[in-house]
Chain A
């Protein structure tokens, strides 16, 4: 509880950090926030072209939906997760001036970095989903509660992971190099470009170990079919995620006392 009250007292600092993250990412660019949308949209177009036009991929799960809409539902949450973890891993090291000279809870840097990334991509997600819906994609907005829960669980998961990687990164610079390939593999083993049902039965149990499966699939099912079945499962993930973040903060704090010496 101590940690929670302390973090609550620092809410102004947190908001300032987040605002700084969001504005700085696109300051000096002409297109500004459009870049946040541009990169995933470009990826989406490439995937659409390669898989739909070249490979002629199709599966029954698509139903009345387009392949682009199918990928879009999972691509933005994935981008938020991947970019959030990657950026937040550098949050402590990248703010060495602050860490060495000013007293404040260092985990705020990680939370702010994750928060800013999720904010940007969540906005992008909403824009793209709305744009597709206007273009005639039959999304079911009744699935919105599950979609939001999926995002929240994803945010907690990314925060817990990033707290560990960001604190380890101060001591071992290898973390950063390991993270790139690890996230790339994760992208392909997570059902973003394909549904879980397309995975061969024999290895499907391995896929079940990937927590992202249990978060991205409900988001997609919620939007595409208005399926709210994952409500209970996501609730558990949110509770578990909150616990994981709490544990990660405790671990982070064991290391953060020595950041200023190693950074």
Chain B
């Protein structure tokens, strides 16, 4: 045993379940009301969550993954206190700040300033404590003189900025977010990410619900995969996201990419990708040990140098290797006002014969947000009796 006593977990769920009454008709609503008043179980119910047990310790961020409607948001709401579980025990320690929806508590008729006071009161701050923080909040939100106008005249981006500024003013022990990283305009997203990095590095704990496995892997140590209201897998975030992706790909729903839309909405996009000079959509066949060149053109809405990410996955979706230009410190070549090119080469492809996919992604300059994806089929041919997916450099030593 080490000398330090183990700190109790910040969040501890054991056997948490949540069921909702099914009340579609007027009679059903009356029956529901009656059973609630009598504290009786519902006649007809729908189990949103069943037997969820997990722990979150300080500094050990947790990501929730799963399909839409699997129960992720319900679980987040239970931890945030918005929803009461029907079964199990929930223990919470420390200050929790929930960003279930930025600006959720805002009222359109009030000014930004008045809404700040309401939102902080909802977090338990007194008026004096809010006054002390007001300058910081307004500086972070950076909405200028709009602060004294009613929120209804704000753009959605301004509301989001104010909401984020308020929610992060208390430096919570646990921050619960429901896919809010990708909000606001470009510069504010960078601000959020900078804040989040600082928060995590100073020991903050994040509880994130995201559809991007990339975020989960980058921000969370642990992940929980919720499927049909049950905990399907729980543990190391890389392992769990991998299992989830493999399962997801096995269901195989090829995603149509719409680059025109990506460009018109002003996000980073991978315009084209080539494999050994051929367009990626045609696929490429390569002998074992041959070289593979992956080229691509990336659209950058603001002209800054984007990040390119290249990955190899098995046909069943299991990731084999991935690396980004940002990780390697490579800067993409500028070929136009908003266009960049890269070429990525594997001199000796060590993948064993089989079917693979090459994935190319466009990311923001910080390498955080993944915007676009192109997939090319890669067939590796050759004679080999080796096992597994790739050849590792090795030798048999004489003894």
Chain A residues proximal to chain B, CB less than 8 Å:
9-10, 12-13, 15-17, 20, 23-24, 27-28, 97-98, 100-104, 168, 171-172, 251, 254-255, 257-258, 260-262
Give the shortest distance, in Å, between B337 (CB) and chain A (any CB). Answer: 41
Give the shortest distance, in Å, between B152 (CB) and chain A (any CB). Answer: 11
Give the shortest distance, in Å, between A234 (CB) and chain B (any CB). Answer: 31
- Chain B hits for A23, CB < 8 A: 114
A20 and B118 within 8 A (CB)? yes
22 residue pairs bridging A and B, Cβ less than 8 Å apart: A15-B121, A15-B127, A16-B117, A16-B121, A20-B107, A20-B118, A27-B109, A27-B110, A97-B105, A97-B106, A100-B82, A101-B100, A103-B98, A171-B32, A172-B30, A251-B37, A254-B36, A254-B37, A258-B21, A258-B36, A260-B77, A260-B83
> Whole-angstrom distance between the alpha carbons of A255 and B81 in the complex?
15
> Whole-angstrom distance between the alpha carbons of A261 and B107 in the complex?
21
- Chain B hits for A27, CB < 8 A: 109-110
How many B residues face the partner with a CB closer than 8 A? 34
Residue of B with least CB distance to A174: B26
A171 and B33 within 8 A (CB)? yes
Residue of B with least CB distance to A253: B84
> Whole-angstrom distance between the alpha carbons of A257 and B77 in the complex?
12
B125 and A12 within 8 A (CB)? yes
- Chain B hits for A102, CB < 8 A: 82, 98, 100, 104-105, 122
A104 and B32 within 8 A (CB)? no
Given A13-B122, A24-B107, A254-B36, 4 more contacts at CB 8 Å?
Answer: A17-B121, A97-B105, A103-B82, A261-B20
Q: A16-B117, A20-B107 are in contact. Are A255 and B101 (CB under 8 A)?
A: no
Give the shortest distance, in Å, between B34 (CB) and chain A (any CB). Answer: 10
A171 and B117 within 8 A (CB)? no
Question: Which chain B residues numbered 17 to 69 have a C-beta less than 8 Å away from chain A?
Answer: 20-21, 23, 29-30, 32-33, 36-37, 39
- Chain B hits for A101, CB < 8 A: 82, 98, 100-101, 104-105
> Whole-angstrom distance between the alpha carbons of A10 and B36 in the complex?
26
- Chain A hits for B107, CB < 8 A: 20, 24
> Whole-angstrom distance between the alpha carbons of A260 and B73 in the complex?
13
A98 and B104 within 8 A (CB)? yes
B118 and A16 within 8 A (CB)? yes
- Chain B hits for A16, CB < 8 A: 117-118, 121, 127
With beta carbons under 8 angstroms apart, the residue of A103, A168, A254 that contacts B81 is A103
- Chain B hits for A172, CB < 8 A: 29-30, 33
A103 and B80 within 8 A (CB)? yes
- Chain B hits for A97, CB < 8 A: 104-106
- Chain A hits for B23, CB < 8 A: 262
Give the shortest distance, in Å, between A47 (CB) and chain B (any CB). Answer: 33
Residue of A with least CB distance to B125: A12
- Chain B hits for A251, CB < 8 A: 37
Pairs of residues from A and B, 7 with the lowest C-beta to C-beta distance, nearest first: A103-B81, A101-B104, A16-B121, A257-B84, A13-B121, A171-B33, A101-B100
B291 on the A face (CB < 8 A): no
> Whole-angstrom distance between the alpha carbons of A97 and B102 in the complex?
11
Give the shortest distance, in Å, between A257 (CB) and chain B (any CB). Answer: 4
A12 and B126 within 8 A (CB)? yes
B110 and A24 within 8 A (CB)? yes
**From A15, A97, A255, residue with most partner B Cβ within 10 Å:** A97
- Chain A hits for B84, CB < 8 A: 257
Question: Which chain B residues numbered 73 to 120 have a C-beta less than 8 Å away from chain A?
Answer: 77, 80-84, 98, 100-101, 104-107, 109-110, 114, 117-118
- Chain B hits for A254, CB < 8 A: 36-37, 39
B277 on the A face (CB < 8 A): no
With beta carbons under 8 angstroms apart, the residue of A12, A100, A260 that contacts B121 is A12
B124 on the A face (CB < 8 A): yes
Residue of A with least CB distance to B101: A101
> Whole-angstrom distance between the alpha carbons of A260 and B23 in the complex?
14
**From B32, B82, B109, residue with most partner A Cβ within 10 Å:** B82
Residue of B with least CB distance to A255: B36
- Chain A hits for B100, CB < 8 A: 101-102
> Whole-angstrom distance between the alpha carbons of A30 and B285 in the complex?
76
- Chain B hits for A17, CB < 8 A: 118, 121
Residue interface bits B247-290, CB-to-A below 8 A is 1, else 0: 00000000000000000000000000000000000000000000
Residue of B with least CB distance to A256: B84
- Chain A hits for B83, CB < 8 A: 257, 260
A20 and B36 within 8 A (CB)? no
> Whole-angstrom distance between the alpha carbons of A102 and B36 in the complex?
22
Give the shortest distance, in Å, between A164 (CB) and chain B (any CB). Answer: 11
- Chain B hits for A13, CB < 8 A: 121-122, 124
- Chain B hits for A9, CB < 8 A: 124
> Whole-angstrom distance between the alpha carbons of A125 and B173 in the complex?
48
